[in-house]
Chains A and B, each alone.
Chain A
Amino acid sequence: MSAQRIRDIVIVGGGTAGWMAAAALAKVMGTQAYTITLVESEAIGTVGVGEATIPMITMFNNVLGIDENEFVRETNATFKLGIEFAGWRREGHSYFHPFGQFGVDMDGVNFNHYWLRWMLSGGSNDYGRFNAETEAARQRRFGRTGHGPQTSLPNINYAFQFDASLYAAYLRRFSEKRGARRIEGQIVKVDRNGQTGLIERLTLKDGQTVQGQLFIDCSGFRGLLIEETLQAGYEDWSHWLPVNRAAAVPCAKVEEPIPYTRSTAREAGWQWRIPLQHRTGNGYVFCDSFISEDEATRLLMSRLDGEAQAEPRILRFVTGRRRKSWVGNCIALGLASGFMEPLESTSIHLVQVGISKLLAMFPKGGFNPLITDRYNAEMEADYVNIRDFLIAHYKVTEREDTPFWRYCKNMDIPDSLATRLEIFRTRGEAMVVQHELFKEQSWFAVLAGQGLMPVDYHPVADLLSEDELKLRLAKIRTGIQDRVSGLPTHQAFLDSCARAPAA
């Protein structure tokens, strides 16, 4: 096989995924030894109703070396401490899935076990009190920690909520400044090498051609290269995650932005609320077997807390994943590699994971199938773990008040998830393995929040005397109170970001 050295990288599609890929490649691989070309069409718009992220995005920002305050200003971003899930367990109930740790692990055992011992012996069931992000969210406070004199107090982990179209535009400026080239146009033809099957050339509507040795498919759900050209195949998960439509609309902001995303369970799905600096993003994610697009749109519009700022748009999708994200010399990122609803804000993260794995396994010349297989296996594991986590939100519920919720509560679930739920119920741990995105604390927050409270815990948690246990918990709780009471309000912190670069 000819080991043709990679020189020209071509990215197809200029949404969030495309520009994230362009920015990362321009920064890490540079544009001296490589050319980076992104082909996009103005005719195909991006969604722009607010995008929520998870804390790993700060690592991506660090790789790019961008100033966080500038980033916040440029994308109208707010800070995000976690997600409030309202009405998911039952109407009127609400819980918070925070980004940080619960308490402090002791004697090699997760804090959750100590908390469970206390709770099961009559303590309060409000585990959020032992998490700094939850308490800060309750008080609508935010600040960066890790500097200054109070380093013994718990850190605040955070992500962002921003305007995705502004984010793409920001990354475009970043990429172009570093030598990435953008071509406007619609792709009408894809040429592959007759022997190797590798993609060689794209032809645009205006006749222009773009050559490359490595192609990155960020064309969205259709998968222009990965599916329409390479037929990687699609694994449909909609029997476990039945929502398949989203009605989205921005509305005017009615209060200072809160430092978290809210997800409210609805009759046939759920509604997101993502506060940005200047407005609020909203969407109703639903399943069209249980509610019509018109009815869902009407309900969404009636449930906005501010005046709508645009006509609602409908997005259609099928939850699942591309059977292979990397085929030959084409790597699919973002929606092109799979779609999972934004319930846990994993979309951008999965793009980032794809990019970082690509960078880690970046081919020098030629394509080693062992590497390609490895990439696909790792991506599959990431998708499956997130999938199981999402399914748990629907399966573990007390709701049976609508046909949609009756379906979810009674549906069959993957064996991997069923096993995990039973282990969690009986001994208070989700048995998360190293590379999983959602760790013990996330599983704990969501499963307990959804109503699956463990009935027992690890025996090591019984080794402390009762008074010693309570005293330790009281001190942990005090540290959280001290941390949170020292934070500015979220709005005050945003104001400070607007004034100066990050320290």
Chain B
Amino acid sequence: MSRPVRNVVIVGRDAAAWLTALGLKRAFGRQGVNVTVLELPSMVRSADVLVGLPTLEGLHRLLGLDTDDMLAATAGAYALGQQFANWSQARPPFVHAYDTHGAPIHRIDFLQHWLKARSEGMNVPLEEFSLGAAAAKHGRFVVHGDATSGFSKARAGYHLDASAYIRLVRQKAIELGVQRQAGKLGEVVRSDSGIVSVSLAGGEPLAADLFVDASGVDAVLIGKVLEQPLESWSPWFGCDRVLVTSGPKLNPLPAMSRISGFKAGWIGMFPLRDRTPVVAAYDSRRISDAEMLQSASVLCGMRLGDAFVAPCEPGMRSAPWTGNCVAIGEAAVVLEPLDAASLHMIHVGLSHLITLFPVSAEAMLEAEPFNTSMQNHARNLRDFQIVHYRLNGRLDEPFWDRARETPPPPELAAKLDLFAARGAVALYDDETFQEENWASVLIGHGLIPRGYDPQVDTLAPDELIAAFQRMLGFIASTVRDMPSVEAQLELFAPLPSNASF
């Protein structure tokens, strides 16, 4: 039998490095795998926020992180979805909640009934039929019971203080026996088959069977040493800068992110329990960094603290696993800090690496299925982000006109066409978001299908109206009885308090 993987060296920093370290150590530590992190200087700024999808809970279970403890340690808050405002001059804001809409009637998807009713003049927005969206708008947390579980799949995502989260994950990893050396990268020795050893500046070379590049956009191994090129996706986005800053805590605490378009990009508020991180992506050719900082305060309606600006170029390396080196996080894929993409791509990379952990240190045949799946995930998530740009309704603003006129990638074009024809979502392999998420965003951005499933015509109009009213009534009364996200967090994940009036 060939030589198994015994030593893993992770070169990198921040969430990608420490989540990978903790994940691999928990999965393979008992089988004798050693995990070492060569920790490069952090690129996290004090204002940074990490945004997690509801599926993050699954990752945390894998990592042995208790969600409530994690929320307490990070001043974390629940986000039941994301509100999009000002992506069109004419259309009202909408909420992309992590939930379905309505309940099927006669086993036909609710969306089809809604489309029919709408075509006949009903003007209740789709999101009104989503328990998750209603909770998000009212700052409520969904506690599922018998009544809701058949109707709604609402789950909460997360806003987390980046520094505190990374501290927590690092501490868990080190407790579990992950070795750590910190410094600047020194020499990388490579051979034909891959990387032999890496060292920190002034340090001893560290050999390993498997290397992980978790260095972020620097891509110190996968890019600089193995020379895997970044395929740029910039033309579909148009933003080249990201500004991060922070404002005071919002009161009451919202239950969702708020993403607002403006003339040269978008700006998002991602509330935490002790502050409100603000992230703006913009086109520096249309607005300067200084102007952006000034506008941010006006756009958010609050005083903002220190701001940090970094370039942003979405794209991916088509072979994030090359030889004996696997890139996780932004070393592999860069997306806009929208739709909780950044943390999710780390999650996807890590869980695939665990599933496909190489059985042999010599011939890593797992690279190919890993790369295929990562490409699929990244492109599908990219397409979900492009929808916001492609379907924008900000007319006569050059940034947005260009975004609207840029032809989408062919897979997305096909998806949009099918949806426009009959409200059906073509799901490809390895999708992050499901039918209800696509439908929510497509309809929210104004892509109303022309037709619907002809099977819905068998339902009598009275029956349809009665069913709709029941659902709306159920949502209203259920939301009234829900705890607020703030109260839920206070009780289940209390922040340390030194009570004083």
Contacts and interface: CB of A to CB of B under 8 A. Distances in A.
Interface of A: 84-86, 92-96, 118, 122-129, 134, 137-138, 470-471, 473-475, 477-478, 481-482, 485
Nearest to B497: A124
A485 B496 CA distance: 24
Give the one of B487, B490, B494, B495 with max A CB within 10 A.
B487
B501 A478 contact: no
A475 B478 CA distance: 13
Contact of A124 (B140, B252, B499): B499
Contacts of B481: 475
Contact of B494 (A93, A123, A128, A471): A123
A470 B491 contact: yes
A103 to B, nearest CB: 12
Given A96-B501, A128-B501, A474-B491, 10 more contacts: A123-B491, A123-B494, A124-B490, A137-B501, A470-B491, A470-B492, A474-B483, A475-B483, A477-B486, A478-B483
Interface string B458-489: 00000000000000000000000111101110
A471 B489 CA distance: 10
Give the one of A95, A138, A473 with max B CB within 10 A.
A473
Contacts of A138: 501
Contacts of B140: 478
Given A122-B494, A477-B490, A128 B483 contact: no
Contacts of B484: 474, 477-478, 481-482
19 contacts: A86-B501, A92-B500, A94-B501, A95-B501, A118-B491, A124-B497, A125-B497, A126-B499, A138-B501, A471-B143, A471-B491, A474-B484, A474-B487, A475-B481, A475-B483, A475-B487, A478-B140, A481-B486, A482-B484
Nearest to B494: A124
Contacts of A481: 252, 484, 486-487
Contact of B491 (A134, A477, A482): A477
Interface of B: 140-141, 143, 252, 481-484, 486-488, 490-492, 494-501
B490 A129 contact: yes
Given A122-B494, A485-B252, A134 B501 contact: yes
A118 B486 CA distance: 17
Contacts of A84: 501
A301 B223 CA distance: 71
A173 B157 CA distance: 63
Nearest to B140: A478
Contacts of A477: 483-484, 486-487, 490-491
B69 to A, nearest CB: 10
Contacts of B501: 84-86, 94-96, 128, 134, 137-138
A123 B495 CA distance: 8
A128 B499 contact: yes
Contacts of A128: 499, 501
A126 B495 CA distance: 11
A367 B40 CA distance: 92
A118 B494 CA distance: 11
Nearest to A129: B490
B57 to A, nearest CB: 16
Nearest to B253: A481
Nearest to A96: B501
B494 A95 contact: no
Give the one of A94, A125, A474 with max B CB within 10 A.
A474
Give the one of B483, B486, B488 with max A CB within 10 A.
B483
Nearest to B481: A475
A454 to B, nearest CB: 15
Contacts of B141: 474
A134 B501 CA distance: 8
Given A470-B491, A477-B491, A125 B499 contact: yes
Contacts of B252: 481, 485
Given A475-B481, A485-B252, A93 B500 contact: yes
Given A122-B494, A485-B252, A127 B487 contact: no
Contacts of B494: 122-124
B483 A95 contact: no
A477 B491 CA distance: 9
Nearest to A137: B501
B482 to A, nearest CB: 8
A5 to B, nearest CB: 54
A123 B252 CA distance: 20
Contacts of B143: 471
B412 to A, nearest CB: 41
A129 B251 CA distance: 14
Contacts of A470: 491-492
Nearest to A473: B491
B471 to A, nearest CB: 23
A474 B497 contact: no
A86 B496 CA distance: 21
A271 B159 CA distance: 44
A128 B482 CA distance: 21
Give the one of A118, A137, A138, A477 with max B CB within 10 A.
A477
Contacts of B496: 124
Contacts of A118: 491
Contacts of A85: 501
B499 A95 contact: yes
A124 B483 contact: no
A374 B22 CA distance: 75
Nearest to A93: B500
A124 B143 CA distance: 22
Given A122-B494, A124-B494, A474 B488 contact: yes
A482 B488 CA distance: 14
Given A138-B501, A477-B484, A124 B492 contact: no
A138 B495 CA distance: 19
Nearest to B489: A474
Nearest to A139: B251
B491 A126 contact: no
Contact of B495 (A124, A137, A473, A478): A124
A473 B491 CA distance: 7
B70 to A, nearest CB: 15
Contact of A474 (B490, B498, B499): B490
Contacts of A129: 490
Contacts of A471: 143, 483, 491
Nearest to B498: A125
A84 B501 CA distance: 7
A475 B143 CA distance: 11
B21 to A, nearest CB: 28
